[in-house]
């Protein structure tokens, strides 16, 4: 009879067998030969038989010898012990191995797929977990060295789900949407286990959340100052006296300061972020010409945040008001998350016109003046290194 299942019982709590399934059956099968009552044996199938062996007080390297006492009939109409005289079987050597239980680090390795229309993905929190895993010591040691990972597919989140969620109390404008990860998604791949996929058993898994930002245009609500940087190398020829900024329909002089006089909007950031940084945004133009296609000296420009460290502190403080921390570590983790969020917003901020198109400026050296205009047909947008940090 080929492919007969073998069930092991009476293993100590700190013992296991490689390939032992949770129900106590080995993942390998046995071939046995039975002698006895011909009429009974000829009508048996492998599926009618199970071998059960007692592991109590057995040696680590156990060479199992079976007798008919180890046979269990899965057919209630057949008493194998009554009709079977002897049993022969293929070699069955079992290694009884020590079991250990360890906490294995788990990281969110990948978030893939596209978020629902009208939203952009921000981050996932928490980002680090531990998985309590029980298994053979050698396997667990390897797992601990490599760690485990978990992935999420943003495509599984629906627009209707996000539309019905309200922003948390941390985000008083409600534009950041926190999506609690369903329990059915909280599985971690454990390669040493029989079934590979295990439920994430870290207690903090209950707080697993994907955060999205509602896409919207937010009014800047103020005229942005324009600062001209005159490099030292060309200062003798190009300086505030020889090349001042020209006032026109786009650029106005307010109390001696040039400002961009046009309605502007920001995208890819939250309302809380723009409320904090609004008064510290400026347009920076570098008075170092580089020829463009028609030979006109063109100047690069960028969006800058002034005193970014202080703005970051303020952002954290504003979004931490009213938050209760169970312990100091919770508060620190929240602060780290908010600081990371702020820096992501800094890297993403873009200026837009009222219709959502990116703001495009042409900055040129004219006749003894710097001329700034809005050019709807130009591809000149802020330098890729925009939003760098300035302390004043």
Q: Report the pLDDT value the prediction gives residue 304, as an integer from 0 to 100.
A: 96
- Shared domain for 194 and 256, answered yes or no, is no
- Shared domain for 254 and 383, answered yes or no, is yes
State the CB neighbour count (10 A cutoff) for residue 111.
Answer: 15
- Shared domain for 136 and 62, answered yes or no, is no
Q: Enumerate long-range contacts of 277-280, CB under 8 Å, 24 or more apart.
A: 277/305, 277/311, 277/315, 278/220, 278/221, 278/222, 279/222, 280/305, 280/306, 280/307, 280/311
Boundary (domain end) residue, out of 186, 214, 242: 214
Q: Bridge partners of 218?
A: 266
pTM of the model: 0.70
- Shared domain for 14 and 79, answered yes or no, is yes
Boundary (domain end) residue, out of 41, 58, 91: 91
My answer on whether omega of the bond before 126 falls inside 30° of 0, hence cis, is yes
- Shared domain for 71 and 134, answered yes or no, is no
In Å, the largest CA–CA distance within the chain is 115
Residue pLDDT tens, the chain, 392 long:
899 999 999 998 888 888 888 889 999 899 999 999 998 998 899 999 999 999 999 999 999 999 999 999 998 888 888 889 999 998 999 999 988 899 999 999 888 999 999 999 998 988 889 999 988 888 899 999 999 999 999 999 999 999 888 655 445 567 889 999 999 999 998 887 666 789 999 999 999 999 999 999 999 999 999 999 999 999 999 999 999 999 999 999 999 999 999 999 999 999 999 999 999 999 999 999 875 555 567 899 999 999 999 999 999 999 887 665 555 566 788 899 899 999 999 999 999 999 999 999 999 998 899 999 987 664 455 654 444 455 54
Residue 202 forms part of a structural domain:
yes
Residue 382 forms part of a structural domain:
yes
Q: What are phi and psi of 233, to 5 degrees?
A: -60, -30
Q: Report the pLDDT value the prediction gives residue 383, as an integer from 0 to 100.
A: 57
Q: Is 255 left (phi over 0), alpha (psi -120 to 50) or beta?
A: left
Residue 1 forms part of a structural domain:
no
pLDDT digits (tens, 9 = 90+) for 10-65: 998 888 888 888 889 999 899 999 999 998 998 899 999 999 999 999 999 999 99
Sheet strand arrangement including 265-267:
218-219, 265-267, 350-352
Residue 35 forms part of a structural domain:
yes
Q: Bridge partners of 96?
A: 17
Q: The domain containing residue 342 runs over which residues?
A: 218-390
pLDDT digits (tens, 9 = 90+) for 155-206: 999 999 998 886 554 455 678 899 999 999 999 988 876 667 899 999 999 9
- Shared domain for 26 and 152, answered yes or no, is no
Residues 32/36/39/40 CA torsion (nearest 10 deg): -60
Q: How many domains does the chain have?
A: 3
- Shared domain for 225 and 356, answered yes or no, is yes
- Shared domain for 334 and 308, answered yes or no, is yes
Residue 362 forms part of a structural domain:
yes
Boundary (domain end) residue, out of 167, 184, 214: 214
- Shared domain for 237 and 281, answered yes or no, is yes
d(CA 94, CA 6): 11
- Shared domain for 355 and 241, answered yes or no, is yes
CB 273 within 8 A of CB 342: yes
- Shared domain for 222 and 353, answered yes or no, is yes
- Shared domain for 203 and 189, answered yes or no, is yes
């Amino acid at each position: 009879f080929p492919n007969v299942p073998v069930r092991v019982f009476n293993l100590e709590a700190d013992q296991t067998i490689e390939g032992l399934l949770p129900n106590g059956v080995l993942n390998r099968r046995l071939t046995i030969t039975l002698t006895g009552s011909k009429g009974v044996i000829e009508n048996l199938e492998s599926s009618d038989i199970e071998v059960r062996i007692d592991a109590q007080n057995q040696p680590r390297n156990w060479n199992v010898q079976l007798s008919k006492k180890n046979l269990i009939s899965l057919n209630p109409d057949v008493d194998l012990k009554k009709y079977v005289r002897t049993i022969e079987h293929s070699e069955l050597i079992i290694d009884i191995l020590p079991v250990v239980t360890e906490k294995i680090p788990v990281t969110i390795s990948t978030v893939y797929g596209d978020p629902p229309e009208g939203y952009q993905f921000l981050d996932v929190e928490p980002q680090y977990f531990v998985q309590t895993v029980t298994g053979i010591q050698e396997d667990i040691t390897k797992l601990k060295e490599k760690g485990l990972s978990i992935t999420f597919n943003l495509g599984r989140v629906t627009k209707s789900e996000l539309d019905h969620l309200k922003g948390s109390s941390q985000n008083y404008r409600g534009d950041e949407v926190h999506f609690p990860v369903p329990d059915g998604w909280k599985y971690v791949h454990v390669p040493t286990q029989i079934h590979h996929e295990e439920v994430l058993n870290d207690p903090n898994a209950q707080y697993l959340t994907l955060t999205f930002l509602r896409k919207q245009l937010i009014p800047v609500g103020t005229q942005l100052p324009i600062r001209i940087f005159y490099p030292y190398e060309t200062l003798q020829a190009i300086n505030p006296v020889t090349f001042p900024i020209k006032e026109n329909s786009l650029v106005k002089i307010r109390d001696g300061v040039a400002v961009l006089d046009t309605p502007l909007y920001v995208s890819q950031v939250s309302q809380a972020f723009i409320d904090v940084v609004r008064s510290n945004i400026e347009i920076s133009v570098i008075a170092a010409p580089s020829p463009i296609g028609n030979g006109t000296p063109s100047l690069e420009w960028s969006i800058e945040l002034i005193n970014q460290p202080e703005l970051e502190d303020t952002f954290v403080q504003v979004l931490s008001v009213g938050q209760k921390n169970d312990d100091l570590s919770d508060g620190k983790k929240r602060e780290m998350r908010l600081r990371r969020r702020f820096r992501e917003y800094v890297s993403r901020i873009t200026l837009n016109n009222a219709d959502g198109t990116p703001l495009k400026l042409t900055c040129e050296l004219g006749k003894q003046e710097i001329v700034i205009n809005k050019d709807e047909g130009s591809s000149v947008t802020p330098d890729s290194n925009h939003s760098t940090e300035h302390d004043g």
